[in-house]
Structure 1
Amino acid sequence: MRHGPLPLLLLLLAVPLQTWAQTEVQVWHGYRAAERAGLEKVVEAYNAAKASTGVKVTLRAIPSDAFTDKISTVVPRGLGPDVFIFPQDRLGGWVESGNMLEPLDFFLDDATRKRSIPTTMEAMTYHGSVYGLPLNFKVITLIYNKKLVAKPPRTTGELLATCKKLPARPEGSTCLVYPYTDFYYHAALMNAFGGRVFDPGPTPRLDAPENVKAMELLLRWVDKDRILPPEPSTVLTTSLFNAGQAAMVFSGPWFLGEISPAIDYGLAPLPTVDEAGGKPMRPWMTVEGAAVAAPSKHKEAAFDFVKYLTGPEGAKIMALVGRQNPAFEPIYQDPEIAKDATLAAFRTQAESAIPMPNVAEMTMVWSPMTSAMNAITRKASTPKAALQEAQKAVQKDVASLRRKK
């Protein structure tokens, strides 16, 4: 008996559609521990919800110290993921280099644009276009030992008064400790004075008078008021706080995992600065976003996952499991999130935070400012002279960058 085309057609129709239209969206990240567990749970939930569509998300973890170099190398060649999670300080450079980040404006409706904390969306925007949806943010805040500090200081005046009231402790103890020669940490004080890295343009402005004033106050805290140790470091910050030899720390969520279980600690907003007219310390906000790779062949499916990850479903999992502060603003009204004191403290601090510059020129600032901070704190230069030297170095590098363009 001869078989015609009908049985073959019936056989094809009997095969589930997704086997013929399977779309794999590959996501790269540099997460470990709780953050990785949170992301894996989001992907599991997303894949379950999309099981009938033929879309499946797969994850690839890249060691965090190699992540940005790997992404920079493989994505422009079309050999990387469809989606990757990245910090905003790379945004400008990657946009300028080309074929890295897909602009998302075409995909965005008004509700999606407005659902994130405004400063986090600002961090994902470059020259008016959105290149990633904000996933989470990090800021430094005040962390204090409750045994030594009954009431966290609200102003720098109260900070000094609190330090003077501390009981006598072992030699080497200090009132406050943080890596103050690290420009990232110092920026909170600089921004309180109205200081800045760039004027519009962006034009480097490291030698602004406000920046000098912030440096002068820092030196006073070290030399005259003696509330800071003379030789700061991240290792010293952790060891002093865990030994009960430091009453307060300026740091972020990454520090919490380093605190000894023996320390009963609390979190509070950074103090306002009397010397800057009562303005708040304004730490830099660092934001991680989820981006669609420009060479991706599955842009619509990739964006759908990015929207899910950064929306209500993903935000709740990344908060409770991943221990991140989501950029998705409405999640802080969720009862489970609202009762989390740690997430609430960093959300409060975010109100006075400033997104760290995401322009390509920002990468040229770190080395000159590290040299300036060290020269100032070691008394090898005055604040004004050291910042002028940093300004010259950054101006030269920026001019060279623009000639190459």
Structure 2
Amino acid sequence: MKKGLFALLLVGVLVLSVVASGCIGGGGETTTSPSPTTSSPSPTETTSPSETATTPSETATTPATTTTPETECGSGKVVIWHAMQPNELQVFQSLAEEYMAMCPDVEIVFEQKPNLEDALKAAIPAGQGPDLFIWAHDWIGKFADAGLLEPIDDLVTDDILNQFAPAAQEAIQYKRHFYAMPFAAETVAIIYNKDMVSEAPKTFDEMKAIMEKYNDPNNEKYGIAYPVNAYFISAWAQAFGGYYFDDKTEMPGLDKPETIEGFQFFFQNIWPYMAPTADYNTQQSIFLEKRAPMMVNGPWSIASVKDAGINFGVAPLPPITKDGKEYWPRPYGGVKDIYFAAGIKNKDAAWKFVKWFTTSPEVIKELALQLGYIPVLTPVLNDPDIKNDPVIYGFGQAVQHMYLMPKSAKMGAVWGGVDGAINEILQDPANADIPAILQKYQQEILNNIGG
């Protein structure tokens, strides 16, 4: 990176001194997710912790160890629509300015759209849409089915694709077509108080022992702080091979024995050590007030943890050992994409910029160190500075076990059914007939998707 530009970038980020964003979707637009990672009720439909942006890492920046691809330059104007937070936008604009300095015939223009989805759906069919837009990968199904995306199959070659983590490769394609390029990911992990727990649990048995040690509900202290909704407990529903929805068959799986087992595991082995509320803000406050040694949350919560003065670490949810076999909890995760809009006016220049942005180790490393984004470009995942950053590295390890958020447009009918099942279980967790409840909502989801 150019030293002068980077100095300005760093100063700008420090002056802003913003708080956590988690916003895989790109920032300020909170639809139904706390991060707005997705247009679904993923992390929280009722809480929106992602109104703030992940704090910049305090790791010193050094040049990436890999070689940046040779810059290819187009010409003309490239318009990018987004819903990013101000601190995110500043970093993106600074990187775009660096690109424009190398490619003086190109103009990169970012346009903020507070209600991005509605704006795109209105503008693209009328021929007034952008060249590119930024959001999570889970829009790809409904936007492609609606004819709102431009395929880039002829541009995404194997040598480009293979630079990314497998989940990121999967996140940019739908029904055998490529429509976007990835640049980051997010999921949930354990955030633990090092003054209470010296090391993160490496197995679920260790995690349970910690919960048992600290659980003291009579004094409003608990073994773990854990928001409860379809997004957050997906890790356990999908731990034993179950799932809410299968992208390949486009069918829900709440009634699968493996899914039922995962739900039962959560309510038998984790819920008893929690404050008896599903509320996101209440659960987070318990950890921030040091009334629990651990919290399950995403990168968007880190600024609040820092503000609370907690000496913390981040680690993946640990594996369960059963019948001699290891089962990793698989929380839903999202991938940040740059999409190509149907009717794109400057595809050549747009592609060359996006290729540079998503495949340049220096760019992706900058996003990680300044915004806390979890890299999906493999060379950056192995960068020493990334490995030495406990937040980025901890969530990066969690990403390795995440279950990619479904891309099918039918997933929109699934969230309500899963949350309905959870809410019914929560009426009496100790005595709930979990198999019957999940079977009931399986049928509801099938009815809603016309299955």
Q: TM-score, normalised by structure 2?
A: 0.78
Letter in 1 for 2:82: H
- Conserved? CA contact 1:219–1:377, under 8 Å: no
Q: Which residue is equivalent to 2:343?
A: 295
Q: Which residue is equivalent to 1:189?
A: 236
CA–CA distance in structure 1, aligned partners of residues 206 and 75 of structure 2: 62
Q: 2:314 aligns with which of 267, 279, 296?
A: 267
| Structure 1 residue matching 2:125: 3-state secondary structure | helix
1:251 aligns with 2:302: no
Q: Which residue is equivalent to 2:69?
A: none
Q: Cα gap change, 1:263/1:300 in structure 2, threshold over 3 Å: closer, same or farther?
A: same
Root-mean-square deviation over aligned CA pairs: 2.0
1:61 aligns with 2:112: yes
Q: Which residue is equivalent to 1:23?
A: 76
How much does 1:138 deviate? 0.2
CA–CA distance in structure 1, aligned partners of residues 274 and 252 of structure 2: 29
Q: 1:103 aligns with which of 151, 156, 168?
A: 151
How much does 1:109 deviate? 2.2
| Structure 1 residue matching 2:124: 3-state secondary structure | helix
How much does 1:153 deviate? 1.4
How many residues matched? 372
- Which runs of no fewer than 5 residues in structure 2 stay unpaired? 1-73
- Conserved? CA contact 2:237–2:244, under 8 Å: no
Letter in 1 for 2:234: A
Task: Summarize deviations over 1:55-82 as a string: whole Å, max 9, x none.
Answer: 110111222xx22222222223221211
Letter in 1 for 2:417: P
Q: 1:173 aligns with which of 196, 221, 224?
A: 221
CA–CA distance in structure 2, aligned partners of residues 168 and 93 of structure 1: 46
- Conserved? CA contact 1:238–1:258, under 8 Å: no
- Conserved? CA contact 1:310–1:327, under 8 Å: no
- Conserved? CA contact 2:78–2:109, under 8 Å: yes
1:133 aligns with 2:181: yes
- Kindly name which structure, 1 or 2, has the bigger radius of gyration based on alpha carbons: 1
Q: 1:49 aligns with which of 102, 126, 149?
A: 102
CA–CA distance in structure 1, aligned partners of residues 122 and 260 of structure 2: 39
Q: Which residue is equivalent to 1:151?
A: 199
How much does 1:169 deviate? 8.2
CA–CA distance in structure 2, aligned partners of residues 58 and 87 of structure 1: 20
CA–CA distance in structure 1, aligned partners of residues 250 and 181 of structure 2: 23
Q: Cα gap change, 1:383/1:158 in structure 2, threshold over 3 Å: closer, same or farther?
A: same
Q: 1:231 aligns with which of 266, 277, 289?
A: 277
- Conserved? CA contact 1:170–1:245, under 8 Å: no
- Which runs of no fewer than 5 residues in structure 1 stay unpaired? 1-20, 401-405
> Which range is displaced more, 205-214 or 160-169?
160-169
Identity %: 29
- Conserved? CA contact 2:413–2:445, under 8 Å: yes
> Which range is displaced more, 27-36 or 351-360?
27-36
- Conserved? CA contact 1:34–1:321, under 8 Å: no
How much does 1:131 deviate? 1.2
Within a 5 Å distance, the mapping from 1:222-371 to structure 2 comes to 226-259=272-305, 260-275=307-322, 277-312=325-360, 313-371=362-420
How much does 1:360 deviate? 1.0
| Structure 2 residue matching 1:149: 3-state secondary structure | coil
CA–CA distance in structure 2, aligned partners of residues 124 and 142 of structure 1: 27
- Conserved? CA contact 1:193–1:213, under 8 Å: yes
> Which range is displaced more, 39-48 or 309-318?
309-318
CA–CA distance in structure 1, aligned partners of residues 254 and 143 of structure 2: 24
- Conserved? CA contact 1:28–1:62, under 8 Å: yes
CA–CA distance in structure 2, aligned partners of residues 330 and 76 of structure 1: 38
Task: Summarize deviations over 1:359-404 as a string: whole Å, max 9, x none.
Answer: 111111011111111001212852112211221121112227xxxx
CA–CA distance in structure 1, aligned partners of residues 239 and 395 of structure 2: 18
Letter in 2 for 1:251: N
CA–CA distance in structure 2, aligned partners of residues 190 and 296 of structure 1: 40
- Conserved? CA contact 1:123–1:287, under 8 Å: yes
CA–CA distance in structure 2, aligned partners of residues 389 and 143 of structure 1: 34
Letter in 2 for 1:56: E
How much does 1:167 deviate? 8.2
- Conserved? CA contact 1:291–1:306, under 8 Å: no
Q: Cα gap change, 1:167/1:389 in structure 2, threshold over 3 Å: closer, same or farther?
A: closer
Q: Cα gap change, 1:22/1:168 in structure 2, threshold over 3 Å: closer, same or farther?
A: closer
Q: Which residue is equivalent to 1:75?
A: 124
1:383 aligns with 2:434: yes
Task: Summarize deviations over 1:326-360 as a string: whole Å, max 9, x none.
Answer: 22111123343332221111111122112111111
Task: Summarize deviations over 1:94-124 as a string: whole Å, max 9, x none.
Answer: 11111x1111111122221111111111011
Letter in 2 for 1:195: G
| Structure 2 residue matching 1:85: 3-state secondary structure | strand
| Structure 2 residue matching 1:183: 3-state secondary structure | coil
